[in-house]
Structure 1
Amino acid sequence: MEQLALEGKIRQKIYGKQKIYFADQSQFPEVKDADLKAMDCQISDLNTQVQSITSSCRQLDTELKELNSSLTTEQIISEIQDLKAECAEYRARLDKIKSATNHVTPEEKEKVYKERTVYVKEWKKRKRLASDMINAILEGYPKSKKQFLEEAGVETDEDCNVIVPST
């Protein structure tokens, strides 16, 4: 740095034991205030242009991402063919069901519904009885209900994500 200062390329100032080096500003021509204001206006105009170009680039990037994530024409044609084939399979299955002669009679249907009602009532009854027994045990049990059920190995309907159907 001292060598550059001796050559006159940079300037040096000494403050006690410290030396400060800086660019020699005398090599640049003097600029008038009007020129500085014109440059400031030009800078602000360029900043505005940069912002508008940046926002349009973001918009174009967003549009590009949307286009890249959408299906191509070939993929759409393939998807349509797959859906038509699936629809044809369902139509054939529906025709087979409609043409079947072994339909369930209303008596059989009613019998099944009655059996279901009986089983659901029994399920609710047994669930209530089990719940009453567990609550009776928990009255004198020092731990929580969850810990008791875990220790006893009891699985509830809620643990298995089962909902008791309505009757």
Structure 2
Amino acid sequence: MSKSKESPAAAVVILKYLNDQNRPYSAQDIFGNLQREHGFGKTAAVKALEQLAQDGKIKEKVYGKQKIYFADQSQFAAIGEAELKTLDSQTCDLSDKFQNVQQSCRQMEAELKELNNSMTTQEISVEIAALNEECSSHQERLKKIKSATNHVAPEDKEKVYNERKQYVKEWRKRKRMAADLIDAVLDGYPKSRKQFFEEVGIETDEDHKVTIPDL
């Protein structure tokens, strides 16, 4: 649509929109609400609103730097007090219904999200089959262990425990000796313990996250 034809076309659309909605809007509101459907630009919307106001087809109010446009109320029939009360009552009823529907929508959205995050029936079937296979494998392994005849003899087990205890004691002893020797060197060393370790190339149990086991 050419620029010359855009404003008149926009004026027709905007006049109908303001009369149908019968509520105040800024030029930006009008442009935002109608642009996508009708395709006219913001400049055309502003010009159309100004022309409609000049022609007396809509009303214009200025609030600071902003202009607000709304339908000419003289075209609408006067509403009596009883009718206003009826409309207020209907508004309250519709508001309650809207809140109830909105709450139901939230609950359904939460349920839908939970379902979307859950496994499908096919996925559950595959998972069950895999777990059954794994369980059977473990049961077979346990059965073989229980039926094995080559268990470790008590004396061999005791020998292993004693050797472990001896090695742990030796580990503690050697670590203590190394610590004493390092402390003696550091008494006359001008730098920090960390720098000394780096220069000499000492690696500690802590560097490798190793802890001496209990006896």
What TM-score do you get using the length of structure 1 for normalisation? 0.72
After TM superposition, give the deviation of residue 115 of structure 1 in Å.
0.9
**Identical columns (%):** 53
After TM superposition, give the deviation of residue 6 of structure 1 in Å.
4.5
After TM superposition, give the deviation of residue 63 of structure 1 in Å.
1.4
Runs of at least 5 residues in structure 2 that lack an aligned partner in the other structure: 1-48
Separation of aligned partners in 1, 2:196 and 2:87: 80
Cα distance change of structure 1 residues 60 and 165 upon mapping to structure 2, 3 Å threshold: same
The aligned residue for residue 94 of structure 2 is 46
* Higher relative contact order (Cα pairs below 8 Å, separated by 6+ residues): 2
After TM superposition, give the deviation of residue 112 of structure 1 in Å.
0.5
Deviations 1:75-100 (A, max 9, x none): 22222222222222222222322333
Q: CA RMSD in A?
A: 3.3
After TM superposition, give the deviation of residue 114 of structure 1 in Å.
0.6
Cα distance change of structure 1 residues 82 and 10 upon mapping to structure 2, 3 Å threshold: closer
Deviations 1:99-121 (A, max 9, x none): 33322111110010011111122
Q: Kindly indicate whether residue 101 of structure 2 is the aligned counterpart of residue 101 of structure 1.
A: no
Separation of aligned partners in 1, 2:60 and 2:145: 99
Structure 1 counterpart of 2:109, which letter? D
Q: Kindly indicate whether residue 176 of structure 2 is the aligned counterpart of residue 128 of structure 1.
A: yes
Any conservation in 2 of the 1:12–1:22 contact (CA below 8 Å)? yes
- Report how many residues are paired: 162
Separation of aligned partners in 2, 1:60 and 1:97: 52
Cα distance change of structure 1 residues 111 and 13 upon mapping to structure 2, 3 Å threshold: closer
Moved more, 150-159 or 38-47: 150-159
What TM-score do you get using the length of structure 2 for normalisation? 0.59
Runs of at least 5 residues in structure 1 that lack an aligned partner in the other structure: none
After TM superposition, give the deviation of residue 153 of structure 1 in Å.
4.5
Picking from 81, 84, 88, the partner of 2:136 is 88
User: For 2:122, what is the secondary structure of its paired residue?
Assistant: helix
Q: Kindly indicate whether residue 115 of structure 2 is the aligned counterpart of residue 64 of structure 1.
A: no
Deviations 1:117-140 (A, max 9, x none): 111222223333344445552785
After TM superposition, give the deviation of residue 73 of structure 1 in Å.
2.6
After TM superposition, give the deviation of residue 163 of structure 1 in Å.
2.8
